[in-house]
Structure 1
Amino acid sequence: MFNYIYRLFRLKTIKSRLQFWGIFFVFLIGISSLIPTFFIISRGIKADQMNYLEQTVSLQSTAIENWFNERSSYIRTISNLNEIRNLDKERMKNILTSAVNLQSEFDMLTYINKNGFIEIDSSKSGAKIKNQASINLSDRDYFQEGKKGKEFVSDVIIARATGKPSIIVSCPIIDSQQQFQGVIAGVVEPRTVEKIMERMRFGKTGETYLVNREGVMITESRFIADLIKYGMVSSTARLNLKVHTEIVQKAQTNLSVVLPYSNYRGVESLGAYHWTQNGKWLVIAEVNQAEMLDSLYNSMFIIIMSILCIVAFVLYIVLKVSHHIERPLQFVLNGVRLIQKSNYKYRIDVKEVAPRAIEFQEVCSAFNLMAETVETTIHGLEDSEERYRTLIETSPHTVLVHSKGKIVFMNQEGALLFGANHPEELIGKDVISLVHPDSLLQVKERVASSYENKKQAELLEEKLLRLDGTIIYTETVANPITYNGNPGSLVIVRDITERKKIEKALQDSEEKFRLLAETSGDMITIHNVEGEYLYVSPACHRLLQYEMDNLLGKSAYLLIHPDDLEYVHNAFLTLQHVNYTSSTYRIRQKSGEYVWFETNLATIRTVEGALEKIVAVSRDITERKLLEQQLQEANHRLEMLSWRDGLTGIANRRFFDEKLESEWKRAARGSTPLSLIMIDIDHFKLYNDTYGHQGGDDCLKKVAETLASVPNRSGDIVARYGGEEFAVILPQTNNADALKIAEKLCKAIASLEIPHASSKVADIVTVSAGLATMLPTPFSNPAEVISLADKALYYAKESGRNQVQNFHEAIVS
């Protein structure tokens, strides 16, 4: 348990542990008395506040109902006037004009005839309704209720006459024959109701507001400036803000509210509700929980300050004690820091810690031993790096690197091969400028393939040019690499000009061939069609340790490494159809060891064209093979570092950008869908603040590992997009399948149950995900699907987090 506490609070030093336990016991005593006091005071304040809210919402509801009852009574009085009932149009107009001026709460009074058309209107501004004869209101609820002889107060609607949000108070006109003759309608703007609501404002954050049954706010918010600032509404909350809070959901089912809850501004609040106007509107009274607790915090502040004073005193005592213990360990810590700064010669003087405990002396001795080991290891690595550099610089073969078609590195042997005194004379030159026209096409194809496909180019003969124009024959092999973030190629060039001359001489005369063979450093052999040695040059003794007579008449296959036997045999069979080929294989020396041979094979045919003999020119390339292997390993390590995220081990942003670009082009060519999921850890900043950056890093690693384990197709890519944000590329995946994967990802993270005490969504780590699916075309680009997925992610956060939002669903809702 103690180790768990030390890991949890990162108590790595003796001083920090002594401080922790001293402070812990003081806080334990203080909190044992503080917590009961806190809850007693908190419950009292909360109960008083709830009583006040319930009284406020009840009074507000009564006030609204009384106000509308008075307005209905006023409209009823007007509709019962004889001039109105008798439809005296001239007198009706005067009455309505006077009435609207006397009753300031009405913005307009109108007479709607029995067919649903406005015949008379009067407003405080004196403005007339345009095209009133064409406005049919017969389908409105208040008109339908009037035909039934009933008075009516409407919900907030957009008035057809004015185009503004309005509340209609209506009463039917019944003539002396008890026949329906139309309705008198009074238009009340919602801001008039807001004036009634403003009377019930209280405190710094208290407010009352109205929402309809759909949860749409129908009165202006007290905090409209904040809503506009945070982009929740553009200009007004009235009819533009839909309230999804718990109190609205509970009210719609007449259930009690669990307090506190998050209000429509995302602030923890206390509140009460009451239905008014026959359940048409919901009156809500709310106050921020923080305001309620201000008085509680003031009382608790005094108590906490007292505890902190005691903690400070205990901390002072602990510091005195820990200083005596910490001093010997400081020697070790200083030594570690010096080693981190590459000072590997530092050693602790054991005499200085002699008066301390024996354990500290043993620690210092162990540190000195460790420092000596580190120094030896580092020097060994530096020597290895120097040997590797020397290997390339002193290689008997030309080693060059080109990127973007330009030479960026060449060793001294390469400079001499191309007729330069120093490699600097060739740096920056176009690599194609050194190629003979006969080999130009194949070299261009190899360079393009190396850059684009990142595949090793096989051994190939090429005609190159020295700076003075002289032709040189070479064999080249190329490995794709990344140079300064760009595609490049590492090329090894071997000069075979002399060998070419020898091969040509062999074709001219067998005598010349034999003479050249005996003086060549390469091993030259002649075989029959079964592979048996007919002639072996003296170089076989130097290369294979055999005398010529030991090999004559024996099959060359007997010396080939078993793993390479089929490859060499196929090369011999190829000569049935072509006159030249080459192969690379391992061959056994007389000592039993295997060396690498590179062999060029040419045919000698009869007059009829039948294969008669095979001429082989071989050389030992073991050294070059070792160099190639080392270069491949180094290239592989560089490539792994270039696309892997250093913290999480999954693909990084750079790899994500490259793969999205390539998958986008592939989807555009095949007309297949491509889906992208953007994922963000909910309230990760709060997680870092609570658990520290090390805890945050551990969280990121677990989340990344889990995300990477969910997609099960080889083409699916999970990458760290940046910070706490991840991205998943799903090629050839439609929206429905991608949505299932996104939901599976969110559930997988939640199943980790990583504690997150500061989250406003849950007590564990959760994620929000935004999904977008597109059908790429040659005229679109990947930035579009990133933008759509990012918008869906933003909507998921705005909608409460811990969820998946599909871009199409987000737009519709």
Structure 2
Amino acid sequence: MPDPDDATLREALADADVYRTLLESTRAIPWKIDWASMRFTYIGPQIESLLGWPQASWSTVEDWAARMHPEDRERVVGFCVAQSQAGVDHEADYRAMTHDGRYVWIRDVVHVVRRADGAVDSLVGFMFDISERKKDEEELLRLHRELERLSMTDGLTGIANRRMFDTRLGTEWKAAREGGKPLSLVIVDIDCFKQYNDAHGHVAGDECLTRIGGMLQELSQRPGDVVARFGGEEFILLLPGADETAAREVAEACVRGIARLRIPHGGPGVGDIVTASLGVGTARPAAGDTARDFLAAVDRRLYDAKARGRNRIEVLEQGHRAAALRAPRP
């Protein structure tokens, strides 16, 4: 007569075989680490097909850490150890090195097993290959950044647009106020641009704006400068850290650059080539000053340049700055 204990044992072993078969047939890779020895007591055979390392080569947590991308290692190991010591289940994404030196994105899902006295007994978990998911996430991020870039770019000239300028002006104004540094603006307005369009057509007008925008962008050599299309035939240069002398030099370079382009104008009552009028100003922001008032004051200098004959530079003098900020535009 069969022994009932033998039947129970066989049933238990059969169940264990079923569980092992189920675990080892999934794409997720099961594993278990003994906390006291920090050694793997089990890792699924799928690890070899995924990473190329033999199943038997996963002996200790040092093997796991050593096969992680150097840029991820300190962050991930530190996080997992801290969470495990606190008895908190957790997840970690990292790049695991394959046997042939490539990298695969892995997500480790970790469960902390505790003994009756609350001490950590072991860690069990699953490794998942999330490389395709990461590719999708990176593509979405790239598309988001591209969309953000396009939203800050003028569609015609390819330089920064008004939105980008407004964003940077606010940021740089605050930085200048806090750092006690100068901030300069140069506003460039193409002279008699309506007559240019009337004489040459809007396609030529677009080409004129594109050429001038490109030239102004090339003039800007400092990494922090912003060259933007301000609207219509106006361009604006934001020059963080530039004092009065530097701003005037940039404005003069803009005038020379436009002249070198020698874009034919020849409209009624206008000179032979395209020129521009410029307003220039430098601020050292103090409490109570606003970027909007400063921008308006420089814009009034541009208006003065156009009213006084065009193709000239008008500078916001520091000695008259307070009055200029309050003065209404004519």
TM-score interval w.r.t. the shorter chain? 0.7 to 0.9
1:731 to 240, 248, 253: 240
In structure 2, the partner of 1:751 is 260
TM-score (norm 1): 0.32
Distance 1:810 1:687 in 2: 37
Equivalence for 1:662? 171
**Alignment partners' CA distance in 1, 2:297 and 2:310:** 17
Evaluate the alpha carbon distance shift between residue 623 and residue 668 of structure 1 in structure 2; reply closer, same or farther with a 3 A threshold. Answer: same
Alignment of 1:212-611 (within 5 A): 522-527=28-33, 533-537=40-44, 540-541=45-46, 545=49, 550-554=54-58, 564-567=68-71, 569-570=73-74, 574=78, 578-580=82-84, 582-586=92-96, 588=98, 595-600=104-109
- The residue identity in structure 2 corresponding to 1:525 is W
User: How far does the alpha carbon of each residue in 1:386-414 deviate from its partner, in whole angstroms, 9 at most, with x for none?
Assistant: xxxxxxxxxxxxxxxxxxxxxxxxxxxxx
How far is the alpha carbon of 1:746 from its aligned partner?
A: 1.2
The answer to whether residue 292 in structure 2 is matched with residue 783 in structure 1 is yes
Quote the Cα distance in structure 2 between the aligned partners of 1:681 and 1:571: 54
In structure 1, the partner of 2:138 is 629
1:756, distance to aligned residue in structure 2 (A):
1.8
| Cα deviation digits, residues 657-710 of structure 1 (max 9, x gap) | 121122222222223222111110111112111211111111100000011111
Q: 8 Å contact 1:678–1:789 — kept in the other structure? A: yes
The structure-2 alpha-carbon separation of the partners of 1:569 and 1:781, relative to structure 1 and needing over 3 Å to count, comes to closer
Cα offset for 1:712? 1.4
Counterpart position of 1:653: 162
CA positional deviation for 1:576: 9.5
Tell me: CA distance 1:644–1:561, structure 2 relative to 1, closer, same or farther (3 Å): farther
CA distance 1:596–1:557, shift in 2 (3 Å): farther
Distance in 2, Cα, partners of 1:613 & 1:572: 18
Does the residue aligned with 1:617 lie in a helix, a strand or coil? strand
SS at match of 1:552: helix
CA distance in 2, matches of 1:710, 1:534: 65
- Is the CA contact 1:756–1:764 (under 8 Å) kept in the aligned structure 2? yes
Corresponding position of 1:685 = 194
What is the alpha-carbon distance in structure 2 between the residues aligned to residue 596 and residue 756 of structure 1? 59
How far did 1:651 drift?
Answer: 0.7
Distance 1:572 1:531 in 2: 16
Deviations 1:503-552 (A, max 9, x none): xxxxxxxxxxxx99986664232357998743114xx53x7647xx9503
Residue in 2 aligned with 1:774?
A: 283
Residues 517/726 of structure 1: CA separation in 2 closer, same or farther (3 Å cut): farther
The SS at the match of 1:700 is helix
Counterpart of 2:7? none
Aligned in 2, Cα 1:718/1:677: closer, same or farther, shift over 3 Å?
A: same
Distance in structure 1 (CA, Å) of the matches to 2:268 and 2:63: 72
**Counterparts in 2 of 1:760 and 1:796: CA distance versus 1, 3 Å:** farther
Q: Select which of 296, 302, 313 maps to 1:793.
A: 302
Q: Is this contact kept in 2: 1:544–1:589, CA < 8 A?
A: no
Residue 559 of structure 1 deviates from its aligned partner by 9.2
Q: Aligned letter for 1:682?
A: D
Contact 1:749 1:765 (8 Å CA) reproduced = yes
Q: Is the 8 A contact 2:217 2:227 kept in 1?
A: yes
Distance in 2 (CA, whole Å) between partners of 1:805 and 1:759 is 25
Alpha-carbon distance, 1:811 to partner = 6.4
1:140-155 superposed matches below 5 A: none
Shift of 1:810: 11
- Counterpart Cα distance in 1 of 2:76 and 2:110: 8
Could you report, residue by residue, the CA deviation over 1:250-274 in whole angstroms, capped at 9, with x for unpaired residues?
xxxxxxxxxxxxxxxxxxxxxxxxx
Amino acid of the structure 1 residue aligned with 2:93: S
- 1 CA distance for matches of 2:279 and 2:307? 12
8 Å Cα contact 2:106-2:131 kept in structure 1: yes
C-alpha separation between the residues in 1 aligned to 2:64 and 2:268? 71
1:699 aligns with 2:208: yes
Q: Distance in 2 between matches of 1:702 and 1:671?
A: 36
Cα distance between partner residues in 2 of 1:550 and 1:809: 74
Matched residue SS, 2:314:
strand
Residues 811 and 692 of structure 1, relative CA distance in 2, 3 Å threshold: farther
Confirm or deny: 8 A CA contact 2:69 2:94 kept in the other structure.
no
- Structure 1's 561 and 793: CA in aligned 2 closer, same or farther, altered over 3 A? farther
2:249 is equivalent to residue 740 of structure 1: yes
State the secondary structure of the residue aligned to 1:805: strand
Task: Note the residue ranges of structure 2 that are not aligned, 5 or more in a row.
Answer: 1-17, 85-89, 322-330
The secondary structure found in structure 2 opposite 1:578 is helix
Measure the CA separation in 2 of the matches of 1:762 and 1:561.
Answer: 72
What's the offset of the Cα at 1:575? 6.8
Aligned counterpart in structure 2 of residue 720 of structure 1, from 222, 225, 229:
229
Distance 2:65 2:136 in 1: 22
Is the 8 Å Cα contact of residues 48 and 54 (structure 2) preserved in structure 1?
no
How far apart are residue 602 of structure 1 and its match? 7.2
Give me the whole-angstrom Cα distance separating, in 2, the residues matched to 1:648 and 1:760: 28
Alignment pair present for 1:618 and 2:127? yes
Paired with 2:189 and 2:179, the residues of 1 have a C-alpha distance of 31
Does 1 or 2 have the higher relative contact order (CA < 8 Å, sep 6+)? 2
1:517–1:523 contact (8 Å) kept in structure 2: no
Alpha-carbon spacing, 1:571–1:727, altered in 2? closer, same or farther (3 Å): closer
Mapped contact 1:678–1:728 kept (Cα < 8 A):
yes
Alignment of 1:168-207 (within 5 A): none
Residues in 2 aligned to 1:566 and 1:528: alpha-carbon distance in whole angstroms: 25
Count of residue pairs brought into register by the alignment? 289
Conserved 8 A contact 1:526-1:615: yes
TM-score by length of 2: 0.73
Q: Deviations over 1:718-744 (max 9, x none)?
A: 100111111111112222211111111
AA partner of residue 306 (structure 2): K
Contact 1:677 1:771 in 2 (8 A): yes
> CA–CA distance in 1 between the matches of 2:191 and 2:232?
12
Return closer, same or farther for 1:699/1:810 CA change in 2, 3 Å cut-off. farther
Q: Tell me the C-alpha RMSD between the 2 structures.
A: 4.0
Percent identity of equivalent pairs: 33
Return the letter of the residue paired with 2:74: N
Distance 1:573 1:628, change over 3 A: closer
Contact 1:524 1:536 survives alignment (8 Å):
yes
Seen in structure 2, the aligned counterparts of structure 1 residues 654 and 571 have a Cα distance that, compared at 3 Å, is closer
Q: How does 1:58-77 map to 2 (within 5 A)?
A: none
Gaps of 5+ in 1: 1-514
Structure-2 change in CA distance of 1:672 and 1:572 (3 Å): closer
For the residues of structure 2 that align with 1:729 and 1:572, how far apart are their CA atoms? 42
**Cα 1:615/1:574, change in 2 over 3 Å:** farther
* Other structure's SS at 2:156 match: coil
Q: Which has the larger radius of gyration?
A: 1
Counterpart Cα distance in 1 of 2:65 and 2:98: 6
